[in-house]
Chain A
Amino acid sequence: DTGVSQDPRHKITKRGQNVTFRCDPISEHNRLYWYRQTLGQGPEFLTYFQNEAQLEKSRLLSDRFSAERPKGSFSTLEIQRTEQGDSAMYLCASSYDRVQETQYFGPGTRLLVL
């Protein structure tokens, strides 16, 4: 049983560059969530998918952020024109609908924008 995986685990980029992160959920999970966590804070919700449909986006998610889950399996989160304030840990979690709504987290992608 493989858990949630994320790639890359670390990313260093220069301000203004675009970055893309990937998340592979637990195989039978139909819900996929993205969160962002900065030092000393709990994770903040960004967006979530049920199968391939993106059902909610946080107002924290600026227009520079876009997420996709094209076939209802893996998901990508892209940040365009990165800013130093985007530096954070980006966490992906998955769950199986409301019946088993416990969310299981991946290892995260740590982004540093210079």
Chain B
Amino acid sequence: EDKVVQSPLSLVVHEGDTVTLNCSYEVTNFRSLLWYKQEKKAPTFLFMLTSSGIEKKSGRLSSILDKKELSSILNITATQTGDSAIYLCAPVYNQGGKLIFGQGTELSVKP
């Protein structure tokens, strides 16, 4: 059965800290992996990762995929209170493109 595990499930840090969120997956017919940020509303898109070892970067956020280890990480540097949210990773099925979401990591950034 397909499985996505994110760790940690929750994390409390102070502004300015750097965090690393982990996502591991066991998904048949894997095509790519998406990261989303969810703040008490619908998920908003962060990154799409298709190739292993190539870092995607957007401001203070970056992410990389390791297809050999079936995992991905999301890094956030110099965290701000606005980064507080649930971060979801979702492998994409090769056929149909449905997403299989992990439980998410709830990040809380304290001032």
Contacts and interface: CB of A to CB of B under 8 A. Distances in A.
Contacts of B48: 101-102
The size bracket of the interface on B is 20 to 34
B97 interface: yes
A31 B98 CA distance: 10
A108 B42 contact: yes
A40 interface: yes
Interface stretch (A13-21, A42-50, A68-76, A80-88): A42-50
A35 B34 CA distance: 15
Question: Interface size bucket, A side?
Answer: 20 to 34
Given A40-B103, A42-B104, A106 B42 contact: yes
Interface of B: 4, 31-32, 34, 36, 41-45, 48, 88, 90, 92, 96-104
Interface of A: 31, 33, 35, 40-45, 48, 55-56, 91, 93, 95, 98, 101-108
